[in-house]
Amino acid sequence: MSNWDVLVMCLRNMFKRKLRTFLTVLGVMVGTAAIVLMISLGLATEAHHQRQMEDAENDMTLIDVHMTWPEGTTWDQMGNPIFPEGTPLLNDAMVDRITSLQGVHFASPRMSGTVFLRADPYYMESWNVVGIRAEAMPFMGLPIAEGRVLQEGDTFAVVFGATAEHAFELLGSTWETRADRQWGWQWQGQEIPTFVDVMNTNMRLSFDRRFVAATDGEQMELTGGIRPIPSYNIEVVGLLAPHEQWGADRQIFMDIEVLLYLQNERLRAEREVQDDWQWLISPIRERPQELFNHVMVRATDVSQTSRVAREIEELGFHTSYAGQWLNMMLEGQRQQQQLLAAIGAISLIIAAIGIANTMIMAVYERTREIGIMKVIGAAIKDIRRLFLLESAMIGFFGGLFGVGLSLIGSYVMNNFDVPFLQGTPMPEWMGVTEVIDPSLVTPWLCGVALLFAAVIGLVSGYFPARRATKLSALAAIRSE
């Protein structure tokens, strides 16, 4: 028989038993739609995850590295930690080692400190000063509204966050006045006047609180014991644009070497271990070896972030990065989608059993017809093709209608309020507040689903077709 004859006979047999064919096709349709919709939920999550990583690439390549505190850690009388022997230390040598790792763009220690600023008649007590390596700041991805970021060679230079200048207060102001102003700005989001134009005002900095002590009504001279309170002229080289997700708006950035110097000078002053003449020396002196609580690492690109973080953890430190949390969220959603896809696969397996049942019943019902075909000379392969084509067409049409049903279902999920499948807002700290569509049906998914349904039908019809070819012609004719 020609291919056309086989196709015509196949369609005639399918339409002869319309109800049975319809129910079998319906089973395949439901199973296909279930699998497509379940996979579409995972595809939507992955697509938005990928876009999120691309939109926030600067955030995704930054890794925060911090020390572990193993059991047995003690402290000396000065409050410095004493770690057990063999504990990996986050010091200058380790920072250089991390910098040498493949896929690391830069690594910079990061520390916080407190300084006191005066721009008469105003002052600021800033406990949110961040020290970093100046050469690393251009790669941090912080937006500049005016001026520039820190550069290698800067000493007493600082970069103000977008709203850090609001912390300036009038010298001699009362605690109640300052509290009302800070409350309105920091916790109620009120607009408050800016006292100091930091980019165009001369100001000085000190590590000693007595530098601004007159603000509490103490009215003391700016001298401390046998020497004046040290202070330094600073240059504000840049002002950041708003960048709230970094927490950088209220911070002041300066070179970590300068901040360490100021911190060491404060400690020397508190312990009174300086010689009487040392206050005259203004250049930055060599600092001792330091241990850092945090190191900021920038990977060369997003694809390297997780590997770099893993290698740093192997050195004995903890790491955290934005993509880590997204990956955890994605992994949880993938597991959920795998469960749902398994449920859809069960539906399709049941549909395959239905196809096999339908074709077996067709073999039993058409035994005489098969016998006659053999007697008049029909080839075994033609009979096999007839049954395989019929089962494959049931699978194909079921898959085709199933894909259509899944497209309708995806549209409903994306455009109507389905309580348990509403779009998920991305976390605000990631900088994206849009609501994502829960379902994404792609052309390749439709094609794979259609092909899979046809293959399921073909496989389901193999044994019934094989049984049909094994029937004896004479026995088949005598069966009715």
pLDDT at residue 259 above 70? yes
Strand partners, 233: 204
Could you count the other beta carbons within 10 Å of the beta carbon of residue 152?
11
pLDDT of residue 474: 59
Structural domain range at position 265: 109-289
Decide: helix, strand or coil at residue 346. Answer: helix
Span 241-254, mean pLDDT? 79
Residues 137 and 279 in one domain: yes
Task: Report the C-alpha gap between 254 and 234 in whole angstroms.
Answer: 10
pLDDT of residue 420: 54
Residues 394 and 469 in one domain: yes
Chain-centroid distance, C-alpha 205: 39
What average pLDDT does the chain have?
76
Q: Tokens 């049984």 identify what position?
A: 467
pLDDT in tens, 289-318: 567 878 989 888 877 888 899 999 999 898
pLDDT in tens, 158-204: 999 888 888 888 887 766 666 666 665 555 455 667 788 899 999 99
pLDDT in tens, 211-229: 876 544 444 444 444 456 7
pLDDT of residue 370: 67
Task: Report the C-alpha gap between 23 and 351 in whole angstroms.
Answer: 10
Q: Which of 291, 307, 242 is nearest to 63 (CA)?
A: 307
Decide: helix, strand or coil at residue 318. Answer: strand
> Is residue 65 included in any domain, yes or no?
no
Span 459-464, mean pLDDT? 77
Residues 136 and 28 in one domain: no
- Residue 417 or residue 392, greater confidence: 392
Task: Report the C-alpha gap between 341 and 45 in whole angstroms.
Answer: 14
pLDDT of residue 475: 58
Residues 376 and 437 in one domain: yes
Residues 461 and 337 in one domain: yes
> Is residue 408 included in any domain, yes or no?
yes
- Residue 172 or residue 105, greater confidence: 105
pLDDT of residue 401: 92
Span 389-415, mean pLDDT? 87
> Is residue 428 included in any domain, yes or no?
yes
pLDDT of residue 52: 63
Cα separations in angstroms, 77 against 68, 72, 271, 340 = 21, 16, 13, 59
Residues 226 and 373 in one domain: no
Answer with the one of 235, 265, 289 that is the final residue of a domain.
289
| pLDDT category of residue 384 using cuts at 50, 70 and 90 | confident
pLDDT in tens, 38-81: 888 777 877 776 666 555 544 678 888 988 777 777 776 656 67
The answer for 195, left when phi > 0, alpha when psi is -120 to 50, beta otherwise, is alpha
- Asked if 103 and 308 touch (Cβ cutoff 8 Å), the reply is yes
Residues 336 and 285 in one domain: no
> Is residue 412 included in any domain, yes or no?
yes
* Strand stretches in 225-371, DSSP E: 227-228, 232-240, 252-255, 294-299, 318-321
> Is residue 312 included in any domain, yes or no?
no
> Is residue 302 included in any domain, yes or no?
no
Answer with the one of 256, 289, 322 that is the final residue of a domain.
289
> Is residue 229 included in any domain, yes or no?
yes
Answer with the one of 289, 316, 347 that is the final residue of a domain.
289
> Is residue 219 included in any domain, yes or no?
yes
> Of the ranges 22-26, 280-284, 397-401, 462-466, which is most confident?
397-401
Residues 169 and 230 in one domain: yes
Residues 261 and 114 in one domain: yes
Residues 245 and 126 in one domain: yes
Task: Report the C-alpha gap between 396 and 393 in whole angstroms.
Answer: 5
- Asked if 433 and 379 touch (Cβ cutoff 8 Å), the reply is no
Q: What is the residue type of 67?
A: M
Residues 352 and 224 in one domain: no
Residues 166 and 237 in one domain: yes
Number of domains in the chain: 2
